[in-house]
Amino acid sequence: MALIVQKYGGTSVGTPERIQKVADRVIRTKRAGNQVIVVVSAMAGKTDELLRLASEISSSPDPREMDVLLATGEQVSIALLSMAIREGGLPSVSYLGNQAGILTDSKYGRARIRDIRAEAMKQDLDDGKVVVLAGFQGIDGANNITTLGRGGSDTTAVAIAAALHADVCEIYTDVEGVFTTDPNIYHKARKIKRISYDEMLEMSSMGAKVLQIRSVEFAKKYNVSLHVRSSFSDLPGTIVCQEDEAMENVLVSGVTYNKNEAKITIKKIPDRPGIAARVFSEISKNGIVVDMIIQTPSSKGGHANLAFTVPITDYPKALKMIQKLAKELEAGEVVGNEDVAKVSIIGVGMRSHTSVASRMFVALAGEGVNIIMISTSEIKISCLIDAKYTELAVRALHDAFELDKSPREESL
Ligand code: ADP
Ligand code: ASP
Ligand code: MG
C-alpha cells in the first residue's frame, strides 16, 4: 500500500465547489488502495485578508499574535475538506499543526520545522482514515503557534512526506506544473517535464512562487521527488527530482522575476577598510537579508557609492537604519528606490556553456532595458532593472533563449 501526500493551494480550495472537487480526488486516491495525507492552505485570499485585518488594528502587530491570527485560515479549510471527504463516505480526520506534532523554532512568521511527531497521524492512517493536515503552521518548544512564511504549506507537505517516507508528494495548484516562466505573464511559457532540485531552488528563490523555497530545500535534502500539477485536470505536471544528464543539455530552463526587492544607495561613503563590514553587519544584526550589492569608487577617490537590495518588507526599517548609519559614517545622501525588479535566467546547462550572460544583456539592450545591477551563480544570472520593464524583459529573455522550443519542455 502506497502512502501519498497531496497538497492543495489556496485557489484549489477557494470555494465550496472546489473543496468538493478536492474531496473527490482524495477519495479516488484512497479508494485506489492508498493511504492519503492531504495538506491544505487557507482558502484563496484568506491569509491576505487576515493580514489586512491586523494592519487595521496595529501598524506593527505583535509577531506572536500575528501567527495566532494567520494560522486560523488553514483551520477553516481543513475542517471543510474533512467534512466533504466524510460526505463522500470515507473516514477523515483534520489536524492542526500543533495536533500533528509539527515542531518548529520560535521565529514567528518564518519558523523552520525542526521535527515532526507523527505517531497520532500514523495511527489514523493505519486505521484507514484520510488525514487532513493544516499547512503553513506548527508549534514551538513553549507551545506557541508559529507559521512558516508565505507559501509555507508546500513546506509542510514536503516535510511530512519526508518524515513518513511517503511514496509520492503531489503539489496541486492553479497551473499545470512548473513553467519556463510564469504562465500568467507570458502565453508562450511551456510546462517543464522534469527539473532538478538545484534549478528549482534558484527558480523559487528568484521569484517563481509555485513552490516555496524551503519546500525545495527539504525535498533535495531528503530526496523527496515532487510532482507539481493542476488541481483542475488529470494531466501530468512537472517532476522535481535529482539532476540527470539530459538536463545539462539545456542551456537555460527558466526565466523568473521578482518585484519584492528595493534598492538602497549610500552616496559618498568613505572608501576604506571596514566600512562595508560595518554597514552589512548592522543590517544582518537586524535580521535583514541583503541580496545584490554593488560598490563603485568615485572618480576623485576616497569615497564610493554603495548600493544593495533588500526584501521590500524590510525596506522601511533598513532605510531608517542606513540613514542613521550614514550620518555616523559621515557619508553622503541615502537614496531608496522601490520601483525595481530582478529578472533572472536559470539553468544547469550554464555551467558548461559560455556567452550566456552576453546573450542575456543583448536581449535586454534590444528592448532598451537598462541594467542597474548584476549578480550571478553557477546556474543563474540576475539583473536588476526598472520595475516598469519587468514583463517586457521576461518575454525578451524567454524569446532570446528560445524557451518556447526547448526539448525539455512541452507546450501548453
Ligand atoms: P498555491 O496557492 O497553489 O500554492 P501559488 O499562487 O503559491 O499557488 O503558486 C502558483 C502560481 O505561481 C501560479 O499561478 C503562477 O502565477 C506562479 N508562477 C510564477 N512562476 C511560475 C513558473 N515558473 N511556473 C509555474 N507557475 C509560476
Ligand atoms: N496560506 C498561506 C499563504 O497564503 C500558506 C500557503 O498558502 O502556502 O501564504
Ligand atoms: Mg503557494
pLDDT tens for the chain, 412 residues: list them: 999 999 999 999 999 999 999 999 999 999 999 999 999 999 999 999 999 999 999 998 999 999 999 999 999 999 999 999 999 999 999 999 999 999 999 999 999 999 999 999 999 999 999 999 999 999 999 999 999 999 999 999 999 999 999 999 999 999 999 999 999 999 999 999 999 999 999 999 999 999 999 999 999 999 999 999 999 999 999 999 999 888 877 889 999 999 999 999 999 999 999 999 999 999 999 889 999 999 998 777 789 999 999 999 999 999 999 999 999 999 999 999 999 999 999 999 888 888 899 999 999 999 999 999 999 999 999 999 999 999 999 999 999 999 998 655 444 3
Q: What pLDDT score was predicted for residue 351?
A: 86
The x, y and z cell numbers of residue 118, run together, are 507523527
Residue 69 CA to ligand 1 center (angstroms) comes to 24
Burial class (CB in 10 A: 0-12, 13-18, 19+), 216: buried
Ligand 2 contact, 173 CB (< 6 A): no
Class of domain 3-174 as given by CATH: alpha beta
**Chain position carrying cell 576616497:** 302
Amino acid at 50: L
| Most ligand 2 atoms within 8 A of CB, residue of 38, 50, 137, 153 to mutate | 153
DSSP 3-state of 95? strand
Residue 307 CA to ligand 3 center (angstroms) comes to 31
Per-residue b or e along 183-198, where b marks 16 or more CB atoms closer than 10 Å to that residue's CB: bebbebbbbbbbbbbb
Amino acid at 313: T
Cα 367 to chain centroid, rounded: 29
| Most ligand 1 atoms within 8 A of CB, residue of 153, 169, 175 to mutate | 175
DSSP 3-state of 292? coil
Domain 244-404 indexed as CATH 3.30.2130.10? yes
The x, y and z cell numbers of residue 411, run together, are 507546450
Kindly list the domain boundaries of the chain, sorted by start residue: 3-174, 244-404
Prediction pTM value: 0.94
Compute the distance between CA of residue 369 and CA of residue 380 in angstroms, rounded to an integer.
Answer: 19
Q: What pLDDT score was predicted for residue 270?
A: 94
Closest-CA residue, ligand 2 atom 4, reads 47
